[in-house]
Protein backbone atom coordinates (compact mmCIF):
# COMPACT_ATOMS: atom_id res chain seq x y z
CA UNK A 1 0.00 0.00 0.00
CA UNK A 2 2.83 2.41 0.85
CA UNK A 3 4.57 1.62 -2.41
CA UNK A 4 1.32 2.34 -4.23
CA UNK A 5 1.14 5.75 -2.54
CA UNK A 6 4.78 6.47 -3.42
CA UNK A 7 4.18 5.46 -7.04
CA UNK A 8 1.10 7.73 -7.28
CA UNK A 9 3.02 10.60 -5.70
CA UNK A 10 5.86 10.20 -8.21
CA UNK A 11 3.45 9.91 -11.15
CA UNK A 12 1.78 13.18 -10.13
CA UNK A 13 5.07 15.11 -10.29
CA UNK A 14 7.36 13.06 -12.53
CA UNK A 15 9.59 16.03 -13.47
CA UNK A 16 10.69 16.53 -9.87
CA UNK A 17 11.70 12.86 -9.55
CA UNK A 18 13.16 12.35 -13.04
CA UNK A 19 16.77 12.77 -11.87
CA UNK A 20 16.27 10.33 -8.98
CA UNK A 21 14.73 7.77 -11.32
CA UNK A 22 17.75 8.04 -13.62
CA UNK A 23 20.17 7.50 -10.70
CA UNK A 24 18.55 4.30 -9.40
CA UNK A 25 16.11 2.84 -11.95
CA UNK A 26 16.02 -0.54 -10.15
CA UNK A 27 14.56 1.03 -7.03
CA UNK A 28 11.79 2.73 -8.99
CA UNK A 29 11.06 -0.51 -10.84
CA UNK A 30 10.66 -2.28 -7.49
CA UNK A 31 8.34 0.48 -6.28
CA UNK A 32 6.19 0.16 -9.41
CA UNK A 33 6.05 -3.65 -9.07
CA UNK A 34 5.10 -3.43 -5.38
CA UNK A 35 2.43 -0.85 -6.19
CA UNK A 36 0.99 -3.14 -8.87
CA UNK A 37 0.94 -6.09 -6.42
CA UNK A 38 -0.87 -3.93 -3.90
CA UNK A 39 -3.48 -2.93 -6.48
CA UNK A 40 -4.06 -6.56 -7.52
CA UNK A 41 -4.48 -7.65 -3.89
CA UNK A 42 -6.95 -4.84 -3.23
CA UNK A 43 -8.89 -5.80 -6.36
CA UNK A 44 -9.00 -9.47 -5.30
CA UNK A 45 -10.28 -8.48 -1.87
CA UNK A 46 -12.97 -6.26 -3.40
CA UNK A 47 -14.06 -9.08 -5.74
CA UNK A 48 -14.30 -11.50 -2.82
CA UNK A 49 -16.24 -8.99 -0.71
CA UNK A 50 -18.59 -8.29 -3.61
CA UNK A 51 -19.30 -12.01 -4.06
CA UNK A 52 -19.96 -12.43 -0.31
CA UNK A 53 -22.29 -9.40 -0.34
CA UNK A 54 -24.09 -10.87 -3.33
CA UNK A 55 -24.59 -14.31 -1.77
CA UNK A 56 -25.21 -13.43 1.89
CA UNK A 57 -26.23 -9.76 1.81
CA UNK A 58 -24.04 -6.81 2.73
CA UNK A 59 -25.65 -6.28 6.16
CA UNK A 60 -25.14 -9.95 7.13
CA UNK A 61 -21.52 -9.95 6.01
CA UNK A 62 -20.79 -6.77 7.95
CA UNK A 63 -22.56 -8.10 11.04
CA UNK A 64 -20.85 -11.51 11.13
CA UNK A 65 -17.47 -10.62 9.62
CA UNK A 66 -16.95 -7.02 10.76
CA UNK A 67 -13.68 -8.03 12.46
CA UNK A 68 -12.33 -9.22 9.08
CA UNK A 69 -13.17 -6.16 6.99
CA UNK A 70 -9.61 -4.82 7.22
CA UNK A 71 -7.99 -8.20 6.41
CA UNK A 72 -6.37 -8.93 3.07
CA UNK A 73 -7.28 -10.81 -0.07
CA UNK A 74 -6.18 -14.22 1.23
CA UNK A 75 -8.63 -14.14 4.14
CA UNK A 76 -11.49 -12.92 1.98
CA UNK A 77 -10.77 -15.54 -0.68
CA UNK A 78 -11.36 -18.18 2.01
CA UNK A 79 -14.58 -16.50 3.14
CA UNK A 80 -15.73 -16.25 -0.50
CA UNK A 81 -15.11 -20.00 -0.99
CA UNK A 82 -17.18 -20.65 2.11
CA UNK A 83 -19.94 -18.36 0.81
CA UNK A 84 -20.06 -20.24 -2.48
CA UNK A 85 -20.44 -23.62 -0.73
CA UNK A 86 -22.73 -22.82 2.23
CA UNK A 87 -25.53 -20.56 3.31
CA UNK A 88 -24.70 -17.96 5.97
CA UNK A 89 -26.04 -19.91 8.97
CA UNK A 90 -24.07 -23.05 8.06
CA UNK A 91 -20.91 -21.07 7.31
CA UNK A 92 -20.97 -19.20 10.61
CA UNK A 93 -21.56 -22.51 12.42
CA UNK A 94 -18.59 -24.13 10.66
CA UNK A 95 -16.34 -21.18 11.47
CA UNK A 96 -17.36 -21.33 15.13
CA UNK A 97 -16.68 -25.08 15.22
CA UNK A 98 -13.24 -24.50 13.67
CA UNK A 99 -12.45 -21.78 16.22
CA UNK A 100 -13.57 -24.01 19.09
CA UNK A 101 -11.42 -26.88 17.78
CA UNK A 102 -8.38 -24.60 17.46
CA UNK A 103 -8.83 -23.27 21.00
CA UNK A 104 -9.23 -26.75 22.50
CA UNK A 105 -6.35 -28.21 20.41
CA UNK A 106 -3.61 -25.59 20.59
CA UNK A 107 -1.11 -27.53 18.49
CA UNK A 108 -2.05 -30.59 16.39
CA UNK A 109 -0.12 -33.69 17.40
CA UNK A 110 0.96 -32.29 20.75
CA UNK A 111 -2.12 -32.70 22.85
CA UNK A 112 -2.39 -35.44 25.44
CA UNK A 113 -4.42 -38.59 24.95
CA UNK A 114 -6.76 -40.01 27.59
CA UNK A 115 -3.96 -41.99 29.23
CA UNK A 116 -1.83 -38.87 29.73
CA UNK A 117 0.67 -39.70 26.99
CA UNK A 118 1.57 -37.10 24.39
CA UNK A 119 1.04 -38.10 20.77
CA UNK A 120 4.32 -36.43 19.82
CA UNK A 121 6.50 -38.83 21.82
CA UNK A 122 7.19 -36.72 24.90
CA UNK A 123 7.27 -38.75 28.12
CA UNK A 124 4.25 -39.13 30.37
CA UNK A 125 4.31 -36.50 33.09
CA UNK A 126 5.60 -33.61 31.00
CA UNK A 127 2.97 -30.88 31.36
CA UNK A 128 1.04 -29.95 28.22
CA UNK A 129 1.80 -26.30 29.02
CA UNK A 130 5.53 -27.00 28.68
CA UNK A 131 4.99 -28.92 25.41
CA UNK A 132 2.96 -26.00 24.03
CA UNK A 133 5.64 -23.53 25.13
CA UNK A 134 8.25 -25.61 23.26
CA UNK A 135 6.11 -25.44 20.12
CA UNK A 136 6.03 -21.65 19.96
CA UNK A 137 8.32 -20.27 17.24
CA UNK A 138 9.00 -16.91 18.90
CA UNK A 139 12.50 -16.46 20.32
CA UNK A 140 12.81 -15.58 23.99
CA UNK A 141 14.37 -12.45 25.38
CA UNK A 142 17.79 -13.39 26.90
CA UNK A 143 16.52 -12.44 30.35
CA UNK A 144 13.69 -14.97 30.06
CA UNK A 145 15.77 -17.92 28.80
CA UNK A 146 16.86 -19.35 32.15
CA UNK A 147 13.47 -20.64 33.35
CA UNK A 148 12.52 -22.69 30.24
CA UNK A 149 16.03 -24.16 30.08
CA UNK A 150 15.89 -25.04 33.78
CA UNK A 151 12.44 -26.61 33.36
CA UNK A 152 13.64 -28.67 30.37
CA UNK A 153 16.71 -29.84 32.35
CA UNK A 154 14.56 -30.79 35.35
CA UNK A 155 12.35 -32.95 33.11
CA UNK A 156 15.42 -34.60 31.58
CA UNK A 157 17.10 -35.19 34.95
CA UNK A 158 13.84 -36.62 36.29
CA UNK A 159 13.80 -39.21 33.50
CA UNK A 160 11.04 -37.48 31.53
CA UNK A 161 12.44 -37.09 28.03
CA UNK A 162 10.94 -34.63 25.58
CA UNK A 163 10.62 -35.70 21.96
CA UNK A 164 13.10 -34.48 19.34
CA UNK A 165 10.67 -31.91 17.93
CA UNK A 166 10.09 -30.22 21.28
CA UNK A 167 13.74 -30.40 22.36
CA UNK A 168 14.65 -28.70 19.11
CA UNK A 169 11.82 -26.20 19.66
CA UNK A 170 13.09 -25.15 23.08
CA UNK A 171 16.64 -24.87 21.70
CA UNK A 172 15.36 -22.67 18.88
CA UNK A 173 13.50 -20.45 21.36
CA UNK A 174 16.74 -20.05 23.30
CA UNK A 175 18.46 -18.78 20.16
CA UNK A 176 20.48 -21.88 19.26
CA UNK A 177 20.92 -22.86 15.63
CA UNK A 178 18.75 -25.94 15.06
CA UNK A 179 18.92 -26.48 11.31
CA UNK A 180 21.87 -28.87 11.72
CA UNK A 181 19.91 -30.92 14.27
CA UNK A 182 17.09 -31.44 11.81
CA UNK A 183 19.49 -32.58 9.09
CA UNK A 184 21.27 -34.96 11.49
CA UNK A 185 17.98 -36.51 12.62
CA UNK A 186 16.80 -37.05 9.07
CA UNK A 187 20.11 -38.59 8.00
CA UNK A 188 20.96 -35.89 5.45
> Which pLDDT tens digit goes with each residue over 118-150?
667 777 788 878 887 777 777 777 777 788 888
What CA–CA distance (Å, rounded) separates 14 from 7?
10
**Does the model's pTM come out above 0.85?**
no
Q: What is the pLDDT of residues 47-79, one digit of tens each?
A: 888 999 999 999 999 998 888 877 777 788 888
pLDDT value at residue 59: 93
- Which residues make beta-bridge pairs with 112? 118
Q: What is the pLDDT of residues 160-186, one digit of tens each?
A: 888 878 888 878 777 776 665 555 555
Domain ranges of the chain: 2-104, 128-186
Residue 161 · residue 148 · CB < 8 Å: no
Above 60 in pLDDT, residue 111? no
Q: Kindly compute the dihedral angle of the four CA atoms of residues 171, 172, 177, 181, in this order, to the nearest 10 degrees.
A: 70
Above 60 in pLDDT, residue 107? no
Q: Kindly compute the dihedral angle of the four CA atoms of residues 30, 35, 37, 42, in this order, to the nearest 10 degrees.
A: 170
Closest CA to 185 of 165, 160, 170: 165
What CA–CA distance (Å, rounded) separates 10 from 67?
34
pLDDT value at residue 58: 92
φ, ψ at 118 (rounded to 5°): -85, 140
Amino acid sequence: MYMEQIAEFVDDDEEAFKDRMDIDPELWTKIEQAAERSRRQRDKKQEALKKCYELWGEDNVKRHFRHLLDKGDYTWAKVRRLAMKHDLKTAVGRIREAIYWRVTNPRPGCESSDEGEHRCGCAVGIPTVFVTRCSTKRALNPGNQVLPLKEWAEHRDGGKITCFQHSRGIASRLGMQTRGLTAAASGV
